[in-house]
Amino acid sequence: MKGGEHLSGGTPPDGEWTTVELTTTRQQLSEQRARLSLSALEAAAGRAGEATAASGHAFDYDVAILGLGYVGLPTALAYRAAGHRIAGIDVSAQRVDAIRRGDVDLIPSDRVLLESHRDSDGLLLTTDPSQLQRAAAVIICVPTPVSEDLSPQLDILRNACLTVVTNAVTGQLIVLTSTTYVGCTEELVVQPLRDRGLKPGEDVHVVFSPERIDPGNVQFGHEAVPRVIGGVSPACAARAVDLLGSAVEQIHVVSSPGHAEMTKLLENTFRAVNIALANEFADICRELELDVSAVIDAAATKPYGFMKFTPGPGVGGHCIPCDPHYLLWQLRRQRVAAPMITQAMHEISHRPGRVVDRAKDLLAENGIPLNGARVLIVGVAYKPNVADARESPAIEILQRFWSAGALSRYYDPLFPSVTLPDGHTLTSVANPGAHEPDIVVLHTLHRNVDLSWIGPKTLVLDATYAATDIAHRSVL
């Protein structure tokens, strides 16, 4: 889709398209909404009301959240805190039970919200997708991983969208938030709604609004992160501004779902490329015998035109290792080249192998063969302070050490055990000091992690570049 081009169908109520650039605070919301197109808003409000009345739906819930994972659960709690009645729906009974028990990974403020709301009438937790029909708005937050061959694994999102379309009722707002390729909202939500006889933009409002949450980040709560909204029509965007504006302080509206989908792909591709660049600078600095962290810190004093990215053992989590591949996959199908992104993802994917090679070299310099060496990885989470090891480079690193015959173990209080790709399960060592490793590989440093057990003679490979207290360490 070209910039500014809108999706076919879903003609807005006032019959004309407006490219809307809107940045607002909650207080300014009503004033700035006028910039959307007042007639569209009024018509939308009228139609939504009529549709609701005509369909006989007095919605029991303001918002249904489909998918209660790292993104969906904090989202549900944020909307509950904003006073909405929430239906939280997850396909996994295990996940719903864990949430009911409070046995989930949340930042402290979200944990407090869960404690106070989980038994209240305003927060339904269920596996029953038909509850979607009772909600005025539906937010889709299901995973969008990649397959072994790095192509998008879309079955989960397809199933979720099918569930939403099947249960859609007149007057509903549907918000797709899962990161995805450009045109996905059209293909998986808008067209199927039309096929069901519901007119997107009239009977049902549809937007794409990428989720930007940073799980575990206490500095930027849900309300502090601006939302981008791309509606199928201005009326759709207006409905979403009303809902999302009740839980976040700033909203930026773009002219179509495609623009919002591409916004998210740009954000995470930007990060991937810059991480690859930081890694490359780290390698260059090591060759030139310079301290890359000192160089980056110095560059970061520039108040404009520079953004700090730090090198590391690779990238993990559900975003950076996956999202750029959604774009690359789409571009391959359209025979569009993206050499810089391709190269960045290539570099990033080789980083865990580099950790193992470097550890092997350090061991060899000390006369220890990798085969049979005692290797201890510190931290297997993909980033500090989260119990999330999805796509974590540590898993590949552990597997590579294991396959090379090293006696590899790990220490991470947030992960009692991890399963390697070959099916082998390892458990976290209870007392890392007692392990007497030949080499310690620092992969993720959780807050307040105790490294005092590392003696001055222990070989240390610091893949975090952050353990400056350990003077004798080698960096990656």
Contacting residue, 20, 71, 123, 373, with ligand NAD by CB under 6 A: 71
Of 24-32, 84-92, 223-231, 419-427, which part binds ligand NAD (CB under 6 A)?
Answer: 84-92
Distance of CA 54 to the CA centre of its chain: 38
Considering CB under 6 A, how many residues would be counted as binding ligand NAD?
29
Task: Determine, following the binding rule CB under 6 A, whether residue 316 of this chain makes contact with ligand NAD.
Answer: no
Q: Helix-strand-coil percent breakdown of the chain, rounded to 5? A: 40, 15, 45
C-beta of 135: minimal distance to ligand NAD in Å? Answer: 13
C-beta of 400: minimal distance to ligand NAD in Å? Answer: 25
C-beta of 180: minimal distance to ligand NAD in Å? Answer: 7
C-beta of 406: minimal distance to ligand NAD in Å? Answer: 31
Sign of CA dihedral 172, 178, 183, 188: negative
Q: How far is CA 318 from CA 69, 172, 214, 330, 398, in A?
A: 11, 29, 11, 19, 19
Laid out side by side, the sheet with 61-66 consists of: 22-24, 251-254, 227-231, 205-208, 173-176, 135-140, 61-66, 86-89, 123-126
Task: Determine, following the binding rule CB under 6 A, whether residue 89 of this chain makes contact with ligand NAD.
Answer: yes
DSSP annotation of 132 reads G
Task: Determine, following the binding rule CB under 6 A, whether residue 70 of this chain makes contact with ligand NAD.
Answer: yes
Annotated catalytic residue: which of 141, 184, 285, 319?
A: 319
Paired residues of 176 in beta bridges: 140, 208
Contacting residue, 39, 153, 159, 191, with ligand NAD by CB under 6 A: 159
Paired residues of 138 in beta bridges: 64, 174
Q: What is the number of the residue whose Cβ is closest to ligand NAD?
A: 69
- Residue 251 main-chain phi, psi, to 5 deg: -135, 140
Q: How far apart are CA 234 and CA 255, in angstroms?
A: 8
Looking only at residues 205 through 264 of this chain, which bind ligand NAD when binding is defined by CB under 6 A? 211-213, 215
DSSP annotation of 428 reads B
C-beta of 72: minimal distance to ligand NAD in Å? Answer: 5
Contacting residue, 14, 62, 90, 462, with ligand NAD by CB under 6 A: 90
Q: Which is nearer to ligand NAD, 139 or 296 (CB)?
A: 139
C-beta of 323: minimal distance to ligand NAD in Å? Answer: 6
Binding mask 133-152 for ligand NAD (x = CB under 6 A): --------xxxx--------
Q: Which tokens hold the place of 229?
A: 């909204």
Paired residues of 475 in beta bridges: 462
Q: Which is nearer to ligand NAD, 201 or 215 (CB)?
A: 215
Beta strand 227-231 with 205-208: parallel, antiparallel or unpaired?
antiparallel
Q: Which is nearer to ligand NAD, 68 or 107 (CB)?
A: 68
Contacting residue, 67, 312, 321, 393, with ligand NAD by CB under 6 A: 67
Q: How many CA atoms lie within 13 A of 208 on its CB side?
A: 30
C-beta of 257: minimal distance to ligand NAD in Å? Answer: 15
Distance of CA 285 to the CA centre of its chain: 31
- Nearest Cα to 113, choosing from 82, 81, 85? 81
Residue type, 24: T
Asked about 319 being catalytic, the answer comes back as yes
Q: Which is nearer to ligand NAD, 144 or 269 (CB)?
A: 144
Of 1-9, 68-76, 98-106, 411-419, which part binds ligand NAD (CB under 6 A)?
Answer: 68-76
Binding mask 394-423 for ligand NAD (x = CB under 6 A): ------------------------------
Task: Determine, following the binding rule CB under 6 A, whether residue 95 of this chain makes contact with ligand NAD.
Answer: yes
- Residue 451 main-chain phi, psi, to 5 deg: -115, 15
Q: Are 447 and 326 spatial neighbours (Cβ–Cβ below 8 Å)?
A: no
Instruction: Give the catalytic positions in this structure.
Output: 319
Chain positions contacting ligand NAD, by CB under 6 A: 66-72, 89-92, 95, 141-144, 156, 159-160, 163, 178-179, 211-213, 215, 317-319
